[in-house]
Amino acid sequence: MLVITPAGMASVLRQLQALSLPPGKLKQIHRALARKVASNTRKHARQQRTPDGGGWKPRAAPNPLYDDGKNRGRMMRRITRAAHMDAVGNAGEGKVYWANGWLGSVAKRQQEGARINLASERSRKGRKRAGADGWGNDRATRVQAMRLVSLGFQRRARGKGRQQASAAWIRKNLTINQAGLIIRILQPDAGKRKNSSVLPARPFLGVSPQENAELRQLLTELIIRYGD
């Protein structure tokens, strides 16, 4: 769980409880504050910056064996979408959360940084790549095709002996299982990879001093609106 309390807001929120407003109005106030925090969070993701304005640590350089770098867009652009990240409130608090538990765990790791178990990640991705039937009979993946091309995999060519196989040919003619087996044959030490990696923290959920002042102003307006 990610818990963010804007600086200086804790005492103000305690004073808010002391106003003895009806639970329904307190819920509306907390929800409005949470929505403002969510809006700021999406802005941080668009700008690829921390709440205090600092830049995020860049991605690791793509490994040409697995990644051609073509699908590397802005980081966290998906998990901060309104469709995934929501803001709610009740009489006691407001919160920004992810209904999808896996996306929530990704958000937490990005926010705080983490040591990733690569063996577990590979296992999860391997299950995902098993295909619709779960047995690996779907066509080879793009990553597998890139690996085979980089390893110099050749195919038979009519009247020409053998020739370098293209990624398109591999994906069309080999299954996931076949491609995986050929990779292990061509590169026996493929499984001898490191089993952990450090993901740097890239904070995006939080409040800058300016945003904190805006929240306090918003809270003042909400108290006036709902205190009548």
Looking at the structure, tell me whether residues 174 and 82 fall in a common domain: no
List the structure tokens of 181.
Answer: 């087996």
Looking at the structure, tell me whether residues 143 and 209 fall in a common domain: no
Instruction: Tell me, yes or no, whether 68 lies in a domain.
Output: no
Q: What is the pTM of this model?
A: 0.62
Say how far apart CA 158 and CA 155 lie, in whole Å. 10
Q: Is 49 left (phi over 0), alpha (psi -120 to 50) or beta?
A: beta
Looking at the structure, tell me whether residues 26 and 41 fall in a common domain: yes
Instruction: Tell me, yes or no, whether 122 lies in a domain.
Output: no
Looking at the structure, tell me whether residues 86 and 105 fall in a common domain: yes
- Identify the H or E element spanning 128: helix 118-128
- Give residue 127's pLDDT: 47
DSSP 3-state of 198: strand
Instruction: Tell me, yes or no, whether 87 lies in a domain.
Output: yes
Asked if residues 131 and 138 have their Cβ atoms less than 8 Å apart, the reply is yes
For residues 125 and 166, the model is more confident at 166
Q: What is the pLDDT of residues 188-223, one digit of tens each?
A: 765 555 556 788 889 888 888 888 888 888 888 888
Question: Half-sphere exposure of residue 82, counting CA atoms within 13 Å on the CB side?
Answer: 6
Q: Is residue 9 scored above 80 in pLDDT?
A: no
Looking at the structure, tell me whether residues 138 and 50 fall in a common domain: no
Instruction: Tell me, yes or no, whether 123 lies in a domain.
Output: no
| Domain around 21 | 1-57+74-113+200-228
Tell me what the mean pLDDT of segment 109-136 comes to: 62
Number of compact structural domains in the chain: 2
